[in-house]
Structures are given as C-alpha cells and as structure tokens.
Amino acid sequence: MKKLLLSSLVVSMLIFTGCFKDDDTPIIIEETTIIQNGGDNGSGSTVVDVSGAIIENTIWTNDNIYRLNQKVVVDNGATLTIEEGTIIKGTPGTGSLASALIVARGAKINAVGTPTQPIIFTSSTDNIEVGQTAGTNLDENDRGLWGGLIVLGYAPCSLSGDITEAQIEGIPADDTFGLYGGTDPEDNSGVLSYISIRHGGALIGEGNEINGLTLGGVGNGTIINNIEVVANVDDGIEFFGGTVNASNLMVWAQGDDALDIDQAYSGTIDNAVVVLGDFSDHAFEIDGPEGSATGSFTLQNATIIGNLTTENGEYADYRSKAMGHTSNIYAYGFKASSDIELDNDGVATNYNDGLLTFGTWEIVLPDGVADVTSLFANKAENVTVTGFGDTASAVTLGSQTVGASTSGLAWTYTNTKSDLGF
C-alpha cells in the first residue's frame, strides 16, 4: 500500500475578491503538495484546492490535480483554460456544499483534451493520478460522489412566462452566477473537447441532483464535441434551451435520462452512444418550449443500448410540445416493455402538425416483440396519431445501416471498461 505524506501544507495562497458572494468575502485558492511514495520509485502529484470565483484568466495544467471545494465559478469576463490530460476532482457534499464547476454567462472555458490525454472530471475519492486516464477503485455503479460541470450562456430559451433568463437547476436562487438565457443565439462560452465526466450528480435538494454536463442557454459560438458522462445520478447531458451543437457524445449508466432536451433547445446533437445501466431511465427525454418562443432540435446518428437486468430503461420519451427531428437511430438490448413514447396531447398534436418528425430507426426486436411499430406508443389522452413508428424497421444485431460511428469514441472510459469493443 502506498504511504501518503502531507508536506508543504500551503505552498502558495492567492486571494481574490469577486461577485461570488454578496458579502464580497475573499476567495482563497490554496495549493497543497502530496508526495506519494510507492516501491522503489516515488511519484508526486500536486493537488491544488480551488474554491470560490475565478475572476481573471486562469490556466490549469496537467501536472496538477485540481480539487473543487464546493462550487467554483468562472466569472463573467474570465476564461479558464484547462490543458489536455488535466484531472479535476470534486469533493463530496450535498445541498449548498455540493461541488461543481460553473461557467457563468459572459465567461469562457477552453478545455481541449485529446484522445490519449482527455480532460477528466471525477470524484476526490477516485484514486486516479496525474498521467493516468482511469483509477482502480470506482466503476460505473459509483454515482453522486460530487456535483458536475455547468455551462451557462446568453442564447435564447423558451421559458415559462416568456422571461428571457432563469436560474439553472442546481444553483440557489440568490446566486446570480446561476442565471442563463438571453437573446444571442451565437453566444460563445468557449470549447469543450475530449472531456470525461465521472461519478457525479450530488443531491442538492429533495429529488434534485446535478447533471453530468448541464448546458443552459449555451450559444452556437460554443464548440462541444467528444464528451463522455459516466455514472451520474441524474441526467447525463441536459440542454436547457440554447443553440449549441454537440457531437461525438457518450453516456453510460446514468441514473435518469442520458440525453435530455428542454425549453426549445434548437441545436444539433450528432453521433451519440448511450449505454443504459441498471438504474437508467430513458436514452432520450425530449421536452418542448415552456413559453411562446419555439425552437426545433435535431438528434441524429445515435446508437442506444438498453438494459436487460432490471425493469428500468426506455428508448425515448417525447413530452410537453416537443418540436424537432430524430433520425438514424440504432437500438438494441431493450426489453419488451420499453417504448418510444408520445407522452401527452401537446406532443401528439405537434406530431400530427409535422412539428415533431422521425426519420429512420433500426431496432433489434426484444424477445416477445413481433412488430417494430408496437414499440412506438401514443399515450395522449385526447389526440390520436397515425403512422407513428412507420419509419422504423427491425434488424438483426450488427446488421444496422444507421446509428453512431463508434470508432471516434474508442478513447472513452466507457469503451475501455465495458465490453463494447469500439
């Protein structure tokens, strides 16, 4: 067993003041060195404890591990740059003590990893060290050990009461850094590329957990690609309005929905793989506008893999006046009880009016299912639909012609720790 020796308790201390708290309490960033001695060769990692607001341009380097103590906010006007291969660990805590990295409106994150050196967000209990891409003590069943990553922007959202901005879920109402939404569809919150987010979803209130990656009002000036979320308590990736496009996504063993769309999100989600775990709900949960503003999503080229070991796990739920297009979906590994659902009268009406459309779905039929169209269920109470499921066909495992291109996701933790074999 490695022996941990704490030295240089405070190597450096930087004090900033910002708008993180109303009382302008100084924000302290402490750097602590932990020397790890193992065998004949000692290896050292520097752990940098971070809390409060980042109010000036800052770089996190891959020779350190950055530990989030409660909520760390990249404030308006600041840019946080994270080098490839950097490891960020969130500390445990619930409610106001939950840890998270929040990129506020007007701030930017420049986090660009590579396939061999992804940027990793994980729990402080993860024994992963500098230079590694995975630890050994946690797996896809370890959830809720810290919060998550939240990016907020000024892009339009359809909000109840036709307000232009709202408070993102997971952030108390009196913390103004939690506001999202606006009028700029081209808003730019920076770049997220080759990012793996693991073991998050800390509880912040009764039945309310932080998503792995939350995108609130994020504009299409932002670049998001090659994102993985593993073992999050709540949703994998949730889009609250906005116009940002996202591609090459992987979600594994989330507790709720893998890809969740709300508030008239109007971007394109392209090339995604979802692998449901024992406690996962839907691969897709799609909601529509909450106000009078409308928007249309595109969700295309996705492979969704079900769960046969528990009663949980559905293909998709389209709800509350969802508007958009879903196409080129390949699905397998689901149970006969799983379905693709129109949830209510509003979304069924949008389907009839051509505001919600479906392209090709190819599905490996579950045992006991003879007709692929029977998997498409209209649950509306007062609105009938025709043709729902007509664009779907039954295929045998491995014979699909649609779905995600998985070769570009071989870098993911999911691929290395599961039996997917990309």
User: The domain that contains 164 carries what CATH number?
Assistant: 2.160.20
Residues with Cβ within 8 Å of 201's Cβ and at least 6 positions away in sequence, in order, are: 143, 144, 147, 148, 209, 210, 211, 212, 232, 233, 234, 255
pLDDT single digits (tens) 263-284: 999 999 999 999 999 999 999 9
The pLDDT-based confidence of 96 (bands split at 50, 70, 90) is: confident
Q: And the tokens for 354?
A: 């051509």
Is pLDDT at 139 greater than 80 in this prediction? yes
Asked if residue 199 is part of any domain, the answer here is: yes
E strands, 17-91, in order: 27-38, 41-54, 58-60, 64-74, 79-82, 87-90
pLDDT single digits (tens) 152-161: 999 999 999 9
Distance (Å, rounded) from C-alpha 20 to C-alpha 168?
16
Is pLDDT at 377 greater than 90 in this prediction? yes
The pLDDT-based confidence of 121 (bands split at 50, 70, 90) is: very high
pLDDT (0 to 100) of residue 17: 33
pLDDT (0 to 100) of residue 153: 98
Domain total of the chain: 1
- pTM score of the predicted model: 0.90
Is pLDDT at 119 greater than 80 in this prediction? yes
Backbone phi, then psi, for 296, in 5-degree steps?
-130, 125
pLDDT (0 to 100) of residue 207: 62
Asked if residue 65 is part of any domain, the answer here is: no
pLDDT (0 to 100) of residue 206: 60
pLDDT (0 to 100) of residue 37: 31
pLDDT single digits (tens) 282-298: 999 999 999 999 999 99
Q: Which domain holds residue 272?
A: 71-417
* Mean pLDDT within 8-34: 35
* Mean pLDDT within 309-313: 91
Is pLDDT at 32 greater than 90 in this prediction? no
pLDDT (0 to 100) of residue 14: 35
Asked if residue 17 is part of any domain, the answer here is: no
Distance (Å, rounded) from C-alpha 316 to C-alpha 221?
28
Asked if residue 21 is part of any domain, the answer here is: no
The pLDDT-based confidence of 38 (bands split at 50, 70, 90) is: very low
pLDDT (0 to 100) of residue 204: 75
Asked if residue 264 is part of any domain, the answer here is: yes
pLDDT (0 to 100) of residue 356: 98
Asked if residue 4 is part of any domain, the answer here is: no
Asked if residue 66 is part of any domain, the answer here is: no
Asked if residue 169 is part of any domain, the answer here is: yes
pLDDT (0 to 100) of residue 420: 87
